[in-house]
Amino acid sequence: MEKYEIRLSGSGGQGVILASIILADAAIEQGLNAIQTQSYGPEARGGSSKAELIISREEISYPKLRKANILLSLTQNAYDKYIASLDKDGILIVDEDIKLSGNYPVKTYRLPILKNAVEKFETAMVANIISVGAIYELIGEDVIDKEIMIRSISERVPPPTIQKNLEAFEEGINLIRGYYE
């Protein structure tokens, strides 16, 4: 790993900002350098939302994403808006309902993130943590120790939801491990 530039996108209320904070916290606890930024539309809940994260073993000299190595899009609007920011050799993670257009990268994961959140966990509120699990599985335990990820999630989600969120994290890992298309 030299450096990961990750953009998480969706709509306000889907938790992409919290997801990026959890990943940044874990990277820092691992001893890596991390910068996290966020923005959302004026509508907040329901409007567009994005968070950006850079993780690096080296010093980070520029705090903005140049080209995303990993792009997560949970909504069609987010995909349409940010697909051009993905590096040609990058990894795309989208919810399975998103319609892909044009030339999208070879490494594309269309996952039932929102469906599984609702059907398996009875709440869309864990879609962000399913996404964290998917991203974690792709960047690898050699970058961030799994116990550190679990601690980061546990410290950031409401205490009554810790177990459900940890199960959602495992769901994201399993979605990547079992992915075939």
Percent of the residues in the chain that have a pLDDT greater than 90, as a whole number: 82
Average pLDDT on 104-130 reads 93
Contact between 45 and 124 (Cβ < 8 Å): no
Over range 138-167, report the average pLDDT: 96
Q: For residue 162, how many C-alpha atoms fall within 13 Å in the half-sphere facing its CB?
A: 10
pLDDT of 13 reads 83
Give the percent of the chain with pLDDT over 70. Answer: 93
Q: What is the pLDDT of residue 39?
A: 83
Residues 55-79 have a mean pLDDT of 94
Q: What is the pTM of this model?
A: 0.93
Higher-scoring residue by pLDDT: 164, 181: 164
Cβ contacts of 160 within 8 Å, gap of 6 or more: none
Check residue 177 and give its pLDDT: 95
- Which domains, and CATH codes, for the chain? 3-111+141-163 (3.40.920.10)
What are phi and psi for residue 16, nearest 5 degrees? -65, -30
